Chain A
Amino acid sequence: MSDGEPTEPPTPQTGGADSAEPDDASRADADAAEPAGGGIFSGYGIASAVLGLLSVGAVVLGVIIWSAHRDEVAERNYLSRVMQTAAEWTGVLINMNSGNIDASLQRLHDGTVGELNADFDAAVQPYRQVVEKLQSRSAGRIDAVAIETVHRDLDTQPGVSRPVVTTKLPPFATRTDSVMLVATSVSENVGAKPQTVHWNLRLDVSNVDGKLMISGLGSIR
């Protein structure tokens, strides 16, 4: 470094400021990328200023890239949580037995929000019937869980479709995502061959104050 040359008097900055003032001014202004008040820009000063601007631009871009990526990661984590919530809820639903039906329904009811919560009994009526019909020890298994990205409401013929609970965004919910689940439950009757029930479910998962709740339940068929 050339700073340490003995020829340069080690004057304090205030002392040497008089002689160096004009040059100092122009260069400092150029270096700091501020408009100079009529000084002379040296080539080095201009180059430094340009690189300084480039650096500032890079920092800004870096912050943008970082925050965009952070949002993206948060979104993916959120969707994983949505799928997990839906899977847990469905796990309770498809493992309902005639023995634990009341406790299971209570747990399911606690995990819902909005219209589904209000009309819970009506909404789970078909599922309840299935469970009561089975009247046996059954075990359910979730085969596939996915965020539903393609959803086509094919015009179902009247009488064929099962009543689907449609919900708007419940109060206090910030967003709702649809999850599709494919599950199977196998019931084992003593002395009879095992009975298999297939479930194609669509669950709406809403974010209520950071807590994920089920706001819609329907069968895809």
Chain B
Amino acid sequence: MRNVWRLLAFDVMAPLAAIAALLMVGVVLDWPLWWVSGCSVLILLIVEGVGVNFWLLRRDSVSVGTDDDAPGLRLAVVLLCAVALSAAVLTGYTHWTKSDRDFKKDSREVVQIATGMAESMASFTPSAPTSSIDRAAAMMAPEQAGAFKEQYKKSSAELAQHHVTAQADTLAAGVEAIGPSAASVAVILRVVQETPGQPPSHAAPALRVTLTKRGSNWLVTDVLPIR
């Protein structure tokens, strides 16, 4: 009875678990060519080992699992199995769990940055004409920030002349598309413009904010009206 257990554990389960682990690594990595070749070689070696083991079991009625004179070999089998399984779990963790977590975190982060960016960009206070644009420029990629500021200064000069106050608030925002290093967020704002002596005007512009990831930070590359 004990020998049956040992046979099952060391001669059947261990190689099967190792093969399963190798296959799982392949599934996680989505079968790159190097792993297709590496995995086939390793599986072939395991199958060969199992074949020899069972051939010897037929001949000598003793296998790796049941041989009392070869505890070292048994340990080696378990060690290889454990290494393969641990490798599979580690690859699964880094490629699946971590990337899923990053995806969620990135999705939250880009929406937050994009709404902040859109609100600062569409807001304007004549008493502090550069306060909101400085806030917006800080969220942009450095090479775009300069050109963006120039452009904004031109359009805001007119607003400042007429003492127009603009207050923008996000009505709705969502991620249109996101990848590991780029994202596009749609933001619908409500902009209330107040000109002295005139009733306030409302508008609901839709903006598309594109972002890129530098290191661990998301930076805005562009803000465009969706239409």
Interface residues of A (CB under 8 A from B): 1-5, 8, 10-13, 17, 20, 23-25, 27-29, 31-32, 42, 44-45, 47-48, 51-52, 54-55, 58-59, 61-62, 65-66, 68-69, 72, 143-152, 154, 160, 179-180, 182, 184, 198, 200, 202, 220-221
Contact = CB atoms under 8 A, between A and B. Distances in A.
A3 B111 contact: no
Contacts of B186: 144-146, 180, 182
Contacts of A72: 96, 100, 103
A61 to B, nearest CB: 5
A62 B65 CA distance: 25
25 contacts: A1-B56, A1-B64, A1-B67, A3-B53, A3-B60, A3-B63, A13-B61, A24-B2, A24-B68, A27-B6, A31-B6, A31-B74, A55-B81, A62-B85, A65-B92, A65-B93, A69-B100, A72-B96, A143-B226, A144-B176, A145-B186, A147-B174, A148-B172, A149-B173, A151-B171
What is the interface residue range for chain B against chain A? 35 or more
Nearest to B173: A150
Contact of B56 (A4, A44, A61): A4
Contact of A148 (B5, B82, B173): B173
B218 interface: no
A220 B107 contact: no
Contacts of A182: 186, 188, 206, 226-227
B66 interface: yes
Contacts of A12: 61
Interface string B87-113: 011001100110010010001100100
A170 B42 CA distance: 54
B172 A150 contact: yes
A77 to B, nearest CB: 13
B172 A202 contact: yes
Contact of A180 (B63, B69, B79, B174): B174
B131 interface: no
Interface string B5-33: 11001100010010001001000000000
For the complex of A and B, the 6 pairs showing the least CB-CB separation, nearest first, are A146-B174, A44-B71, A58-B85, A28-B2, A150-B173, A69-B96
Contacts of B190: 154, 221
A42 B71 contact: yes
Contacts of A151: 171-172
Contacts of B53: 1, 3
Contact of A62 (B67, B88, B107): B88
B153 interface: no
Given A1-B73, A24-B3, 11 more contacts: A10-B60, A10-B62, A13-B3, A44-B75, A52-B82, A61-B89, A68-B96, A146-B186, A180-B186, A182-B188, A200-B171
Contacts of B2: 24-25, 28-29
B59 interface: yes
Given A52-B78, A150-B172, A150-B174, A200 B64 contact: no
A61 B94 CA distance: 13
Contacts of A61: 89
B182 to A, nearest CB: 15
Nearest to A6: B60
B175 interface: yes
Interface in B160-180: 169-176
A3 B96 contact: no
A25 B90 CA distance: 34
A54 B86 CA distance: 8
A89 B66 CA distance: 66
B107 to A, nearest CB: 7
Contact of B176 (A3, A45, A52, A146): A146
A149 B175 contact: yes
